[in-house]
Structure 1
Amino acid sequence: MNTATKPNHIGRKISRIRELRGMKQEALAIELGVSQQSISLIEQSETIEDEKLEQVAKVLGVTAEAIKNFSEESMIYNIQNNYEGSNKGANSISVSNFNCTFNPLDKLVDAYEENKKLYERLLEAEKEKIAYLEKLLNKK
């Protein structure tokens, strides 16, 4: 049985956090005042100097400790277990049904009816405008 652990590859963690934040290498490079190639090298590095890690963490909006401890598995676990309405028990399996508090079709019909009313008011205003203009023309 192989008990080898995954190496703590800081560069990959930085890359993944950057991607999750929706940030491109170029944007991170600009914020750090370095080239995009430098960011690429950092993300390929297994280790990084603490000072540089602090700078990267600050730009990414996380702590250096968060980068060091980042793992995809824990992210997935947190997302699965921290949604609204989940049970917090250690051994519980939670199932939540998110029910709408309104019928979407009713809202669509309401919007259609409102649109119809607005169109009728617009049509009536146009008819009044035409009648007024015809009255002005007849006076001349």
Structure 2
Amino acid sequence: METSAKPSNNHIGRKIGRIREMRGIKQEALASELGVSQQTVSRMEQSESIEDEVLEKIAKVLGVPAEAIKNFNEDAVINIIASTVNNHDQSASVFFYPTFNPIDKIMELVEENKKLYERLLQSEKEKNELLQKSISDR
């Protein structure tokens, strides 16, 4: 008879702990937001089930819906991460598909730059004229 060492997929406390870790939140911070002690959060994360009202509060602090905690599957998250990482170069690929033409944006910047330069040049010309007038008035 073979026993499975794999933990239950319905262990809400473990799901809360993993989501909290993924979000980079410490037990102390979660406890503070919930108005409980760090030990209480630790006990919650060891509990297989949690009252819906408490789960709603935890979900709000973690920034996820309560249903996301209930349906959280770490294996699925690992599979998603594994399928998006290119192991050949040890980095993830990022694809950027702009909804605009980048060359058009560059040309807009060039035109804006020209206008600013022309305004600066006009300002300098006006300063020179004022200086010339000031010198000639003496």
Q: CA 1:59 to 1:119, structure 2 compared with 1: closer, same or farther past 3 Å?
A: same
Give the corresponding residue for 1:14.
16
Q: Tell me, which stretches of 5 or more residues in structure 1 are unaligned?
A: 81-97
Amino acid at match of 2:20: R
Q: What percent identity do the matched residue pairs reach?
A: 59
**Pairwise CA RMSD:** 3.7
Mapped to 2, the partners of 1:35 and 1:20 lie a distance apart of 21
1:84-138: per-residue Cα shift (whole Å, max 9, x none)? xxxxxxxxxxxxxx85443313322331232133122212212212321331343
1:128 partner SS: helix
Instruction: Point out the more displaced range, 7-16 or 54-63.
Output: 54-63
Change (3 A) 1:69 1:135: same
Alpha-carbon distance in structure 2 between the residues aligned to 1:76 and 1:133: 72
127 and 13 in structure 1: CA distance in 2 versus 1, 3 angstrom threshold:
same
Alpha-carbon spacing, 1:74–1:22, altered in 2? closer, same or farther (3 Å): closer
Quick one: which of 30, 33, 49 aligns to 1:31?
33
| SS, match of residue 115 in structure 1 | helix
Shift of 1:14: 1.0
State which drifts further: 48-57 or 106-115.
48-57
What count of residue pairs does the alignment treat as equivalent?
120
Indicate conservation of the 8 Å contact 2:13/2:47, yes or no: yes
The one-letter code matched in structure 2 to 1:39 is V
Q: TM-score, normalized by length of structure 2?
A: 0.58
Calculate the TM-score normalised by the size of structure 1: 0.57
Structure 2 SS opposite 1:39: helix
In the TM superposition, what whole-angstrom CA distance separates every residue of 1:5-33 from its partner, at most 9, and x where no partner exists?
64133223113333555644443222111
